[in-house]
Amino acid sequence: MISKVLVTGANGQLGRTIRELYERDISLNFVFATKQELDITKNEELKTFFEKTKFDYCINCAAYTNVEQAEQHPDLAFNVNAEGAKNIARECKKHEVVLIHISTDYVFDGKKQTPYVEDDAPNPINQYGKSKLAGEKYIQGILENYFIIRTSWLYSKYGNNFLKTIIRKIKNKEQLQITTSQRGIPTSCSDLSEFIIHIIKNKTSKFGICHFSALGETTWYGYAMRICKHFRAYDCKKIVPVKTFKSMVNRPCYSILDNTKALQIFKRKILWHKSVDKTVKALIREQ
């Protein structure tokens, strides 16, 4: 039986990546809904959408992800990331739909020095992280059959992300100052998409919170230097490491996620730098 899958936030970088990779997959039946087609903060829209079509899974890619803007306008972040998640969870419960919800490493405070496991106590230090944690709690309180996938430093060919910003600045021959004070794992939307689709196709029932990222770790500076090596016309010495940078937002200094549970589900080891190389090369080919 072919699973029917709703993807919310279909114009975001993860939604667009899932569409690119799997829209033509005949073993799945996708409905991609942009914010204009389905606003998860509006209960009546959700109710109509779920009553009209019988879904087996809902991949919730809809999110407010601007970390700096969330600090200035927390009500906007909480409306989408918390209330929106609650609204979707309620419809999924009513219609017996398995929810796959995307969360973040920013639910942690970054004070650990070993990778965060799913059972570690969250303690977000910015409004974005607080709004995402609130969404997680709503889902856990409403549903039994759900996956909350925490991931980190997402990038893709689409939208606005660190990788694309660095490429643009390199092409403009700009000098850059990149912080070395935060450690994390860049994670490709392509790899995350494969993990999500693996869950659906294999009807995985290891419900709950799951951490998914690539393997290894780096700093934002190390990440930028990995991108830079693909541009021989640019002098990588123009990328200068700095300890801190000016920001109105507190960010976790350490947000490495432990992947043990994900590897039990998806027996494929993905190295962060290999996936970065793949995405950079794809962007270069397309330009």
Mind listing the pLDDT tens digit of every residue in the chain (287 residues)?
A: 799 999 999 999 999 999 999 999 999 999 999 999 999 999 999 999 999 999 999 999 999 999 999 999 999 999 999 999 999 999 999 999 999 999 999 999 999 999 999 999 999 999 999 999 999 999 999 999 999 999 999 999 999 999 999 999 999 999 999 999 999 999 999 999 999 999 999 999 999 999 999 999 999 999 999 999 999 999 999 999 998 777 789 999 999 999 999 999 998 989 999 999 999 999 999 87
DSSP 99: E
Rounded distance between C-alpha atoms, residue 236 and residue 146, angstroms: 44
Asked if 178 and 222 touch (Cβ cutoff 8 Å), the reply is no
Q: What is the pLDDT of residue 230?
A: 97
Give Cα 174 distance to the centre of its chain: 28
Rounded distance between C-alpha atoms, residue 269 and residue 215, angstroms: 7
Q: Which of 131, 13, 108, 10 has the alpha carbon at shortest distance from 60?
A: 10
Classify residue 23 as exposed, middle or buried by CB count within 10 Å of its CB (0-12, 13-18, 19+).
exposed
**Secondary structure of residue 280 in the 3-state scheme:** helix
Query: Catalytic residue numbers?
Result: 128
Rounded distance between C-alpha atoms, residue 130 and residue 17, angstroms: 26
Q: What is the pLDDT of residue 273?
A: 97
Q: What is the pLDDT of residue 160?
A: 92
Predicted TM-score (pTM) above 0.85: yes
Four-way CATH pick for 3-160+187-215+254-270: 3.40.640.10, 2.40.110.10, 3.40.50.720, 3.90.1150.10: 3.40.50.720
Rounded distance between C-alpha atoms, residue 97 and residue 143, angstroms: 10
Rounded distance between C-alpha atoms, residue 231 and residue 71, angstroms: 35
Q: What is the pLDDT of residue 223?
A: 98
Ranges of beta strands (E only) in 56-137 are: 57-60, 98-104
How far CA 85 is from CA of 7, 151, 203, 284, in Å, comes to 13, 17, 22, 36
Give Cα 267 distance to the centre of its chain: 20
Rounded distance between C-alpha atoms, residue 231 and residue 235, angstroms: 8
Asked if 34 and 49 touch (Cβ cutoff 8 Å), the reply is no
